[in-house]
Structure 1
Amino acid sequence: MSTVCDDNALETVKNWTFLLDKHGPATVRIIVASIGLSGLYFFCRSIRLFSCFKTVNDIPDEFFKKHIRLRGIVSNVDWKGRLVVSHIPIVKLPFTGNQDSEVLIHLAAVNLEESGINWLRHNLLNNYIKFELLCKNEIDNSAVCDVSVKYKTLPMMMKNVNREIVRRGLGQVINYTDNEHIKALHMIPHYNRLVQNLLLSESYADKRGVGKWKRPKLVEAVSGYPSQIVDLVKNSNIFIFLQICYTAAKEGAIVLKNLSRHINTLALHIYTVIGKTLNLMSRFYRLFFKQ
């Protein structure tokens, strides 16, 4: 009986050994592939490889901390110069189709002029851009970004929109009185480096005299000198003192004129009274003493 059991056990072992020899490598490959695919799935899910962000609130805070660079199409530029971007996922699946996305983007560290907003509408509308997330603006719920767009002449190259705006004099670096700007400067190294580059671009625009830094031509400047000199003289202390003296002298002359008129009238009355008195005295003398 024991011999039969040993033979059965040996046969079972042989069968399992045969199955392992035949299907073992394939089974191991399937297990490894499954683990790899699972890891790839969780990795893609963690970095939102297929996610399309519809608003700024959909973007994870981790993306802002790591300054992830996203891409999209500019669908609109509002009256404040903010870009409304239709976000494109890192990997777009063929069967997903177009999704409605309106991510509001604010150009980091730039105060736009009206001409700058018009430039954005002319050059970025319906164009493909890349934007690096720097921080989130809690006031208007927009993403503060460093934006790049493709050159029209060189499609393979990108130009920085923030620097291009400042370099053309269509905007300037945000004033240091802005609290959010100061906070970002101290806490975000990427933002600090961007501001340094923008200050260089602003200095370049100022030296060239372009955009808001445009200076009048020589003829216009020379023609404006007389009016500037007149304004300078009018606002000087000496001119104000002379003006006060002239006004006082004019008022004094008017008073003296009126006074002299009254004195002349009084003198005329006195002269008339004296004349009449002398006439009466002469008549009285002839009437009483010549007889």
Structure 2
Amino acid sequence: MSPHGGRGGAKENDGNDFLHRLSLFIDKHITAINHKRFTCVSQVPNEFIKKHFKLRGQVQSVHNDHLLVDHKPIISLKNSTVPKPLKINLAGVEYNKEGVQFLEEQALNKQVWFRLIQFKGHDGINCTVSTRKSMFKVFNLNEEILHRGYGKVVPLMGHSTDAFTLRLMQRLLQAEMYAEKKEKGLWKEEETSYFTSSIVGKAFRKIINIFKKGA
């Protein structure tokens, strides 16, 4: 027997156990994913948030801090009532009026995919929102707003330090720093740029680096 046989067997068992648990989870929730139309935040299972599920919907309206999205399941069942939209917030992003205009141009009345990140209060969900521009090009609206200088990064609520959320925050910070370096959008204003980058931005980036080291 190989001297490493026991360790390799343990790793293989761990992998099989994870796949088994994942299969059970999918089997348990596949009907909800495919059929159930969520019309309020309270209907979304906690497990969907923890697993960062991606859902599909159509943007009904754009506001200065959220989108109203009509959730459309993969397999839609006939419903006699008019569905209520979900309140979707762009996770980790605070955008200005140019950001609102950008979202209206890119997403209003269009199909989007929104990946669940965390609940925001009792009536909203922090999400990443993506829209397809072509067969091979997908826009992540969270990142694109920052990349164009139409907003800035804001911390997520609570202690969202899982690997997926950390990677998301890193990408958002990179997009913000690009806009700042190129002096795009709100970064054209010297006072705003100095305050955000020197006080809020640097402090927040330091927090992210601490989380990265501890992960």
Which of 72, 77, 92 is equivalent to 1:88? 72
Give the count of matched residue pairs.
165
User: What percent identity do the matched residue pairs reach?
Assistant: 32
The yes-or-no answer on 1:163 pairing with 2:143 is yes
Unaligned stretches of 5+ in structure 1? 1-39, 217-291
Which of 199, 203, 206 is equivalent to 2:180? 206
Q: How does 1:30-49 map to 2 (within 5 A)?
A: 44-45=30-31, 47-49=32-34
Q: Which residue of 2 aligns with 1:77?
A: 62
> Is residue 81–residue 120 contact of structure 1 (8 Å, CA) maintained in 2?
no
Pick the structure with greater CA Rg.
1
Which of 63, 82, 87 is equivalent to 1:104? 87
CA deviation after TM superposition for structure 1 residue 99, in Å: 4.4
Q: How does 1:1-291 map to 2 (within 5 A)?
A: 44-45=30-31, 47-78=32-63, 80-93=64-77, 95-96=78-79, 99-138=82-121, 141-151=123-133, 154-174=134-154, 181=156, 183-186=158-161, 188-214=162-188
Question: Using the alignment, how far apart are the partners of 1:74 and 1:98 within structure 2?
Answer: 18
List 4+ stretches of structure 1 deviating above 3 A. 40-45, 95-99
| TM-score between the two structures when normalised by the length of structure 2 | 0.69
1:67 match: secondary structure: coil
Higher helix share: 1
Question: Using the alignment, how far apart are the partners of 2:179 and 2:28 within structure 1?
Answer: 48
CA deviation after TM superposition for structure 1 residue 101, in Å: 2.8
2:158 match: secondary structure: helix
- Root-mean-square deviation (Å): 2.4
Question: Using the alignment, how far apart are the partners of 2:145 and 2:180 within structure 1?
Answer: 13
Question: Using the alignment, how far apart are the partners of 1:101 and 1:77 within structure 2?
Answer: 15
1:130 match: secondary structure: strand
> Is residue 65–residue 94 contact of structure 2 (8 Å, CA) maintained in 1?
no
Higher relative contact order structure (alpha carbons within 8 Å, sequence separation ≥ 6): 2
Question: Using the alignment, how far apart are the partners of 2:188 and 2:27 within structure 1?
Answer: 55
CA deviation after TM superposition for structure 1 residue 191, in Å: 1.8
| TM-score between the two structures when normalised by the length of structure 1 | 0.52
Question: Using the alignment, how far apart are the partners of 2:27 and 2:137 within structure 1?
Answer: 32
Higher strand share: 2
Task: Give the letter aligned to residue 177 of structure 2.
Answer: S
